[in-house]
Amino acid sequence: MRYRLMIFDWDGTLMDSVGRIVASMQAAGRDIGWGELPDDRVRDIIGLGLPEAIAKLCPGIDAERAEALKQRYAHYFVEGDTTPMPFYPGVSEGVARLRADDRARLAVATGKSRRGLDRVFRESGSGAWFHASRTADETRSKPHPQMLEELLDELGVAAEEAVMVGDTEYDMEMARALGMDRIAVTYGVHEPERLAASRPTFTAGNFPELIDWLHG
């Protein structure tokens, strides 16, 4: 195994939840009278904490409408939208391969809230896969590296022994701020060219390819 600790983004990296995120945010925008939010603009903010995502997606929005948008988005994402959210092909098998090595540690660093991540852990049965996790509402949003710093400290691993895996420049820049290796996956939301600007250590086109490389 190339690393002692492998830290994964969630949406767009492990779970194909992009369609539901986009549909839920667009429905929420219509509900509060903001207007139609284009697909590409919503995809761009996936990975950020929700307050940061709303501020970027809706420049100039006031606090009251931002809170309304947040609440309507949560409604659609949890119960109002039924777009499927499967794991990407090879994720379950790939994580099992990593877990088979007793020395390996796995973690999640996500723009989700703690409530949202715990919900998806329960619903997907994946909570036991990971030794630790951080969410945007209990630390700082990506691309600030605080959630990575906290995971390294909790698990007792040095930055040079860890890698961040993600599908956005926010993941890449968060790791780069610590001098941590980073793997870009190109099947998520940000284009390969955008990811390449952060100089990833490796770029994977699918999850099995990523797992093979991690096993070295």
Q: Using one digit for the tens of pLDDT, what is the confidence trace for 20-70?
A: 999 999 999 999 999 889 999 999 999 999 999 999 999 999 999 999 999
| Inter-residue contact 145 to 179 (CB < 8 Å) | no
Looking at residue 207, its pLDDT comes to 98
At the second CATH level, the architecture of 18-80 is Orthogonal Bundle (1.10)
The model's pTM is 0.94
| Inter-residue contact 5 to 155 (CB < 8 Å) | yes
Band (pLDDT 50/70/90 cuts) for residue 81 is: confident
User: Which is nearest to 17 in space by CA: 42, 38, 35, 41?
Assistant: 42
Count CB atoms within 10 A of the CB of residue 182.
24
Q: Which of left, alpha, beta for 42 (phi over 0: left; psi -120 to 50: alpha)?
A: alpha
80 burial via Cβ count (<10 Å: 0-12, 13-18, 19+)? middle
Give the residue range(s) of CATH 1.10.150 domains in the chain.
Answer: 18-80
Band (pLDDT 50/70/90 cuts) for residue 180 is: very high
Band (pLDDT 50/70/90 cuts) for residue 79 is: confident
Q: Does domain 5-16+85-215 have CATH number 3.40.50.1000?
A: yes
* 205, containing H or E segment: none
Residue-averaged pLDDT of the chain: 96
Looking at residue 158, its pLDDT comes to 97
Band (pLDDT 50/70/90 cuts) for residue 125 is: very high
Give the residue range(s) of CATH 3.40.50.1000 domains in the chain.
Answer: 5-16+85-215
